[in-house]
Amino acid sequence: MKVLIVGSGGREHAIAASAAKSSKVEKMYCAPGNAGIEEFAECVPIGAMEFEKLVAFAKEKSIDLCIVGMDDPLVGGLVDEMEAAGIRTFGPRKNAAILEGSKAFSKDLMKKYHIPTAAYENFTDPDAAIAYLETAKFPIVLKADGLALGKGVLICQNFEEAKEGVCTIMLDKKFGTAGNEMVIEEFMTGREVSVLSFVDGKTIKTMTSAQDHKRAGDGDTGLNTGGMGTFSPSPFYTKEVEEFCSEHIYQATVDAMAAEGREFKGVIFFGLMLTEEGPKVLEYNARFGDPEAQVVLPRMKNDLIEVVEACIDGTLDQVDLQFEDNAAVCVVLASEGYPVSYEKGFPIQGLEEFNKHEGYYCFHAGTKLQDGQIVTNGGRVLGVTAKGKDLKEARANAYAATEWVQFENKYMRHDIGKAIDEV
């Protein structure tokens, strides 16, 4: 079959690498893709938000299956447009992608269906938000309602900071229209775990767990980023935690969406916090995580295309989802200065090394081909991933592999997976 992947990051590279292993795939395209994805798919210069062009391309090439990797086109309704044109597409429709697209919606859903999450209030009026904050407990968390590249969350230590935060989100519109509405939420403490799952509208099958490192600097310092590295599985995601989440969170979310007339098909990403009171939902995403996908998909034993088709067809109950009994660690190589400002266009050396070693992957995030040379083209440049028999071995392997690659302003965290040592 002919497959079109929509997106251009490390996640889409991981999806393409996984899909390429399927005997069902004869030809793959990626829009817009990047220099690494070229290895598996023909990249076409159409942006992920250029719906008309994407649909026209899919029709012209008789695409049999479209996989939408990114949040923006999902929330914007690309799946609906593709389906209207008769293209089989993997991902939630617009009315279901709202699970990620509106934090106010997802909080209300959790409240209505008794899914454990932090206490909160939604606000559309900045004065009302500030009045509420006057009697609130600190620290407190402010969240822009809409998509903000994972950056629309502010943790405020006192009233002054929070008041400023309300202005940043709702008046200055730092995150654009994402800040038309805002969630103010109780601050929780605990370990974070990411659990991705496949969903076919009724059935949900969770993948192996992972943990992201969102802050830019070592020791969880600095600004929030899209993610600086991941490990999988999370040793903190115990059998008990899994059982609790299965009983109170996973199926409950799928059923809640169905009950609301918003049948969810695709990937639900549960951002969980393991609090003293038990696991609670921090956030939902309506897609694979990035860089979570880079440690989860390489460990998946199933044929990705088969699982994706089962989600579309509503036959996921017949799939036996299996993961390797090992571990993987991904260290993101970024451009110095990310997530604020950084230079790009530097040549990248050493990429060929990854073809010589089994169990090592270099997923491209921000790269492009320029005059026959792969150069940096973004804040997050590469996701260097390695497997190992356990987390410690995977981490040592991944950090060793980060040395294979060189570019001028290469930056990475040195403590990805450090939490493993506490187990």
Binding window for ligand AMP (CB under 6 A); candidates: 148-156, 287-295, 327-335, 388-396: 148-156
- Chain positions 399 to 418 lying near ligand GLY, rule: CB under 6 A, are none
Axis crossing angle, helix 94-101 with helix 251-259, rounded to the nearest 10: 130
Task: Give the one residue of 91, 92, 150, 366 binding ligand GLY; rule: CB under 6 A.
Answer: 150
- Position among 212, 266, 305, 394 found at the interface with ligand GLY (CB under 6 A): 212
Stretch that binds ligand GLY, among 40-48, 282-290, 310-318, 371-379 (CB under 6 A): 282-290
Q: Which stretch binds ligand AMP (CB under 6 A): 94-102, 184-192, 197-205, 354-362?
A: 184-192
**Closest CB to ligand GLY among residues 290, 309:** 290
**Locus of tokens 């899919």:** 58
Whole-number Å distance between alpha carbons of 374 and 407: 10
Residue type, 180: N
Considering CB distances under 5 to 8 angstroms, the limit depending on partner class, which of ligand AMP, ligand GLY, none binds residue 181?
Answer: none
Which span sits near ligand GLY by CB under 6 A: 49-57, 130-138, 287-295, 402-410?
A: 287-295
Tokens for 358, please give them: 């089994």
Binding partner at 285 among ligand GLY, ligand AMP, none, C-beta below 5 to 8 Å by kind: ligand GLY
Contact between 354 and 361 (Cβ < 8 Å): yes
Here the tokens at position 333 are 């190589």
Rounded to whole angstroms, the Cα distance separating 289 from 155 reads: 22
Between 310 and 329, CB nearer to ligand GLY: 329
Stretch that binds ligand GLY, among 39-47, 54-62, 200-208, 285-293 (CB under 6 A): 285-293
Residue 227 binding ligand GLY, by CB under 6 A: yes
DSSP state for residue 39 in the 8-state scheme: G
- Judged by CB under 6 A, the chain residues 197 through 256 that form the site for ligand AMP are 214
For tokens 């008789």, the residue is: 62
Q: Which two tokens stand for residue 32?
A: 């817009």
* Coil/strand/helix, residue 379: coil
Query: Quick one: which of 6, 79, 141, 304 contacts ligand AMP (CB under 6 A)?
Result: 141
Backbone angles phi, psi at 102, to 5 degrees: -135, 115
Q: How far is CA 338 from CA 165, 229, 358, 369, 422, in A?
A: 22, 14, 30, 21, 28
* Residue 184 within binding range of ligand AMP, rule CB under 6 A: no
Residue in the shown chain whose Cβ atom is closest to ligand AMP: 283
Residue 153 near ligand AMP by CB under 6 A: yes
Could you tell me the smallest distance in angstroms from the CB atom of residue 227 to ligand GLY? 4
Residue 282 near which of ligand GLY, ligand AMP, none (CB within 5-8 Å, type-dependent): ligand AMP
Residue type, 185: E
Residue 282 binding ligand AMP, by CB under 6 A: yes
Q: What is the DSSP string of 380-410?
A: EEEEEEEEESSHHHHHHHHHHHHTT-B-TTE
Residue 285 is a binding residue for ligand GLY (CB under 6 A): yes
Phi-psi region of 255 (alpha: psi -120 to 50; beta: other; left: phi over 0): alpha
Using CB under 6 A, count the residues that bind ligand GLY: 7
Instruction: Assess 149 for contact with ligand AMP (CB under 6 A).
Output: no
What, of ligand AMP, ligand GLY, none, does residue 159 touch, CB below 5 to 8 Å by kind?
none
Alpha helix (H) ranges present in 216-299?
Answer: 239-245, 251-259, 292-296
Residue 182 and residue 145 in contact, taking contact as beta carbons nearer than 8 Å: yes
In the bound state with ligand AMP, the residue whose beta carbon lies nearer, of 143 and 205, is: 143
Could you tell me which of 12, 8, 4 has the C-alpha nearest to residue 287? 12
DSSP string, 58-80: HHHTT-SEEEE--HHHHHHTHHH
Q: Which is nearer to ligand GLY, 203 or 230 (CB)?
A: 230
Residue from 64, 185, 200, 290 in contact with ligand GLY (CB under 6 A): 290
Structure tokens at 383: 């996701």
Query: CA-CA distance, 343 to 332, in Å (whole number)?
Result: 17
Residues that bind ligand AMP (CB under 6 A): 118, 141, 143, 150, 153, 155, 185-188, 192, 214, 271, 282-283
Residues that bind ligand GLY (CB under 6 A): 150, 212, 227, 285, 289-290, 292
